[in-house]
Structure 1
């Protein structure tokens, strides 16, 4: 077990770099929507957050202020912490700060999160227990071209990290088996018919029926075999990691899933065995010694922290297993258990993919007499867009629109934001806006028709 749960220190270093890059990418992707998603002038003012998610604002640093300047300052601080994590400078502190700011950001607007966001904070959590700065880091101060055998790390934290990676795949497999669409091989066909998800190559290969059927069976087989990511060792494990990585790379170029594929790729890095890193160091020689500031680690100065960390890691490892067992229904949840515990975070396209493509239209009237789509800013056109994914700008807007369909308060704040955004940047003012939900049910073998549902009509200045 120790051999299978051990992680090469160079793998931990690469994992550190991958995590830092994902955090930076995540921040960069959120930044254009910082006003819309994280200020009181956006779609989720703090008053609405307090109504829908009581208590979230009390533990989120980003909820201390509804102003844009404070949000930009916190984004900048998160970026600095991620850069420190990237180079391995005060690595433990940088990891904890990155985790705290990420959780704070996610709690400020939980409506725009997906499974990738959940997985990212879980990986950062386990990373805080691991010596990510012991190799290829400013903290280590070692030559990065050293060869030969290297120390491995094994313990509760490595078990928790590897278990977290496997649990994502295994629970997803269990849920997928509850619908026969995956066994028939039609699941990926349905997924690629969802135009609000598909991008780039996804639109091209959507019609390759034999290929996408094989992809469905291959992915389901890999999910079932996910425990072998830990059971196997050496080249067999590396080959299986490569197969998972290839699927996630395919997701990047076919579907609009946000950071989920990137986070998943980062989670696979610690599973790569030592011989992979021997080759990496042999092919990428770096002779310069990294600068290192002499200091005594906090754990050595305060020995009680080590025992506390081990206890916390043990408790969280048990919680990881129990919570996912409850989410799958394997273990019954005690009465009064919050919904956040029993909800599954890893049911992506499971038990089956959605059966309809949808998008939101926001026809708005201007003082000039023109009519525009308040979401895109273009002249209003009620016809089906050729690229539905472009109607939502990104996956976070798509997630928010899905939540707004169910919650009247969100529709009101969305309309208010659309009016304010337009009137702030245009001479011709917006007087009113309507929200419509358009849905096109997927039919693999027949014609598809669009259904319309009016969500509301709002006057600007009175929303």
Structure 2
């Protein structure tokens, strides 16, 4: 009898421990539905902004007239899983950009949210696969955030889907009063499990845990990479970055001389990287305080370094870290002071558009499904919870393994590694690591014209090898800087021919005097950030290219 009582007590204690651990895990993985709504809006806006920025070099980077025609893409990369690689004409690629923009707009508005998120991720994956030479860490993070968003109830608040559900609920009440029933039109978006409860309710699922851990892994992995760098650990890295002026602009152009401040920022950044696990261990306001420090640092990057949308992508990625107490406080502040008049007008307009879309969607006649189709839908509906749990769980395990492998702590099995590479989810996160950028680099593309004169054919300017006043201004965009840096890599010799061939053809299509020969040089200069002296300066030729010769030419 005593033994039976002892076993019962042990079981009770075990259940109590499990409940407490489950509650603690749920508290750390919970995300407020308002945060998910803001996250959704941010993702949609980011995809639209990214498409607009890429469209400035659409022909150069994504068509057969550009730096990587499809013949070269397939020759260098083998199998390419990309819809964008099926077409090579600018008009066709433009249509794909427009399609991606339409889905991103639907995501922003929260219309058919799950479908919009899935389509946005697939199209972004396709776009990235079309030209890997122009990708950066911001692209990788945006791609991962979009993937996890597919499994999150992003349309539960501030969305057209929420309006559709509300309208369907009203109709259902009326139908119930008349003895009928009405199906929730928002159920197809997979948000039904997250819509119950008050406006400030939160959800805790495998997907919410995954999106939080994704951001954490980026910092932990990057911090481990930087730990092996003397410049980072000695507090000097940011001072060296700021003197490499092809990586600075705006406020960054004026910070190089404040080496004491830059040392302090380096120490603060390293401290934040090592403290990043607190983003998961803490909850509520303390977590929001740590997250705000990270957000502030990335906003600082946005006004000092021309690194594309990366800082803004990270800021959007931090939105889910702000839990219910923060959103409750924000709502109280809005209730107390009232929203700005301009914001209120925009809110009213968006609500009007959302209601119009909801009414239009409800008015579209839908055929009654046959018995077989209805049965298939029922089976799919029953399998959806399993899919929405198992898939994110599997990929969460895989990205943790990939991150551990990136820093030498584990090995990812070959099948898992192949799966990650196929959907471009392998985790590296080597931003400015292990050593930071500390050398100013610029490119000179000497074109010899038919009349014997020389011209820089990339910038359509006189040929000048000396360090420019602002090296950053010699690049058409941050995307071009990333591309040219990759072209200069010793692993990408063929791409030097692709670039030179593009410069030849692009010049000859638009100028009367043809270019016959192009020679691409990379110049560099390194200076000491503490005394301004030049430590090293030189340049080297990447390729001399005959515009009438073979497509791929030796250096």
Pairing 1:258–2:280 present: no
Which of the residues 79, 87, 90 maps onto 1:68?
A: 90
Matches within 5 A, 1:249-398: 249-282=299-332, 283=334, 284=339, 290-291=354-355, 292=358, 293=361, 302-333=381-412, 345-398=428-481
TM-score by length of 2: 0.78
Contact 1:88 1:138 in 2 (8 A): yes
Q: Secondary structure at the match of 1:453?
A: strand
Task: Tell me whether 1:100 sits opposite 2:122 in the alignment.
Answer: yes
User: Of 25, 35, 51, which aligns to 2:75?
Assistant: 51
Pairwise mapping of residues 154-303 of structure 1 onto structure 2 (< 5 A)?
154-282=204-332, 283=334, 284=339, 290-291=354-355, 292=358, 293=361, 302-303=381-382
Contact 1:328 1:344 in 2 (8 A): no
Cα deviation code 1:54-113 (max 9, x no counterpart): 112xx1000001111110000000000111111101111110110000000000001110
503, 506, 522: which is aligned to 1:437? 522
CA contact (8 A) 2:525 2:534 kept: no
Determine the C-alpha separation between the residues in 2 that align with 1:90 and 1:106.
Answer: 24
User: In structure 2, what is the Cα distance between the partners aligned to 1:347 and 1:85?
Assistant: 30
1:190–1:343 CA distance, 2 compared to 1 (3 A): farther
Quickly say closer, same or farther: Cα 1:200–1:300, change in 2 above 3 A.
farther
Residue range with higher mean Cα deviation, 302-311 or 318-327: 302-311
CA contact (8 A) 1:20 1:82 kept: yes
Return closer, same or farther for 1:90/1:300 CA change in 2, 3 Å cut-off. Answer: farther
Greater shift after overlay, 383-392 or 81-90? 383-392
Partner in structure 2 of residue 18 of structure 1:
42
Aligned CA-pair RMSD? 2.4
Partner of 1:419: 504
Cα distance in 2 for residues equivalent to 1:454 and 1:75 = 36
Task: State the match for 1:42 in structure 2.
Answer: 66
Normalized per residue, which structure has more helix? 2
Matches of 2:384 and 2:217 in 1, distance apart?
28
Q: Which moved more, 1:2-11 or 1:333-342?
A: 333-342
After superposition, give the CA deviation of every residue in 1:127-157 in whole Å (9 maximum; x if it has no partner): 00001000000000189xxx97522111100
Structure 1 segments unaligned to the other structure (5+ residues)? none
Q: State whether residues 196 and 358 of structure 1, in contact with CA within 8 Å, keep that contact through their aligned partners in structure 2.
A: yes
Indicate conservation of the 8 Å contact 2:110/2:160, yes or no. Answer: yes
Q: Could you list the per-position Cα deviations for residues 252-309 of structure 1 after superposition, in whole angstroms to 9, with x for gaps in the alignment?
A: 111111121111001000111223323444524657574234599x899622122122
TM-score under structure 1 length normalisation: 0.93
CA distance in 2, matches of 1:102, 1:272: 27
2:288, 2:322 within 8 Å by CA — same for their partners in 1? yes
Pick the aligned partner of 2:534 from 434, 447, 462. 447
Q: Distance in 1 between matches of 2:144 and 2:414?
A: 26
Distance 1:52 1:201, change over 3 A: same
Shift of 1:333: 4.8
